[in-house]
Amino acid sequence: MRKFESVDGQMLIGGVRATEIVKKYGTPVYVTDEDAVRSNYRAVFNAFDKRMPARINYACKANTNLAILRILEQEGSCIDAVSIGEVEACLRAGFTPDRIMYTGVNVSTAELKAVAARRVPINIDSFSELERLAMIDPSLPISFRVNPEVGAGHHEKVVTGARSTKFGIPKDRIVEAYAEAVQLGFRPSGLHCHIGAGVQVADPFVKATEVLVSIMQSIEKELGLRLDFVDIGGGIGIPYHPEDHAMDLDALAEGVTSLIKNGTSAKRIVVEPGRYIIADSTVLLTTVVDVKETPDKNFAGVDAGMNTLVRPAFYGSFHHVAVANKFDRPAEATYDVVGPICESGDHLAKERALPRVEEGDVICVYDAGAYGFSMASNYNMRPFPREVLVHKGTVNLIRERETIEDLMRNQRIPSRLML
């Protein structure tokens, strides 16, 4: 969890007072510190690249804001995309097709055609996808996603590498998949897996890499096929709780690269962090609009809810919160921070010790950059919020707030209902 500076009891984000951002842009508003994005990218790239040639495919499903994609393009990042929409966003942000890897699941033929038309390499998830792509364009660069039967993650809903999940080709059929690909005219270049999200220890990644190395050895022995890269996927977690420790990137990188270098002829490792790069670079600022005391709880009612940040309601996720305009004051009471959505599960934080909260105070929700805006919704007909980027004391608007009119623009009432 990032540490923030304060001046006169006011929280600073990238050298700017949170209250100044709120005064200019209103709330709710997502605020990203550009320097934090760049620093996080460099940390993960350097940890792996100093051990063997590395490619970082930013998992853009975490956050697809075009300004953030531009920052990462400038840093030399590549992309892990899971939809044609993400592919198109990354192309518009300046990424060339060869710097994007498309890894879909249950991909329609229409989407396969769209990705292939843009000459984006495809990471194949099933035999069906392989056979349909062969009819579209067998010259396209491909790799395969295997289910390694090694799963991990912060919640059961984000575990992707377990045997029972929908992702990847079963481990016992993956060599068969490469053989069929060669027969269909493809030249597969790599092997990929993804174990889950929010993993805080290196061991599951090491176990999954052992599986990948064993598979690559079988592919080379049985098919005579040498693959160029090993992709260990993403899922590197961050410390959401103040007392949590960050992932030891050097230990992780050493554990997996030593296996790849000693056990395969692969020339490159690919890693797909999303959360690690973007989560702690961004906070959500929201205004207290109502304070309610009940016999059981104190509620700090704010103007952001599960429509703005769904992770606490969806996964039971923890996000640290602070009162940005009372940043240096001691805690005086315990509050649930709750939103305006008509659901009892609409909470951002539960049982948090905070300074005495008043209407007009600004609550800062930490670590909101990953799966914050990207999982937001219009539930209860509430528009998406603004996003701003701070950089060394300057603030830029990078997404305008939606309007009510935006929500209704694409709806149509049949003429017979107007009679």
Residues labelled catalytic: 342
Considering just the CA atoms, what is the radius of gyration of the chain in Å? 23
Dihedral over Cα of 255, 259, 261, 267: its sign: negative
Q: Which residues contact 210 (CB under 8 A, 6 or more apart)?
A: 259
Kind plus residue range of the DSSP H or E element containing 81:
strand 78-81
The closest of 259, 160, 266 to 203, measured between CA atoms, is 259
Which helix (DSSP H) or strand (DSSP E) does residue 204 occupy? helix 203-223
What is the C-alpha to C-alpha distance for residues 419 and 90, in angstroms, rounded to an integer?
46
What counts of helices (H) and strands (E) characterise the chain? 12, 21
Query: How many other β-carbons are positioned within 10 Å of the β-carbon of residue 399?
Result: 17
What's the CA gap between 114 and 117, in Å, rounded?
5
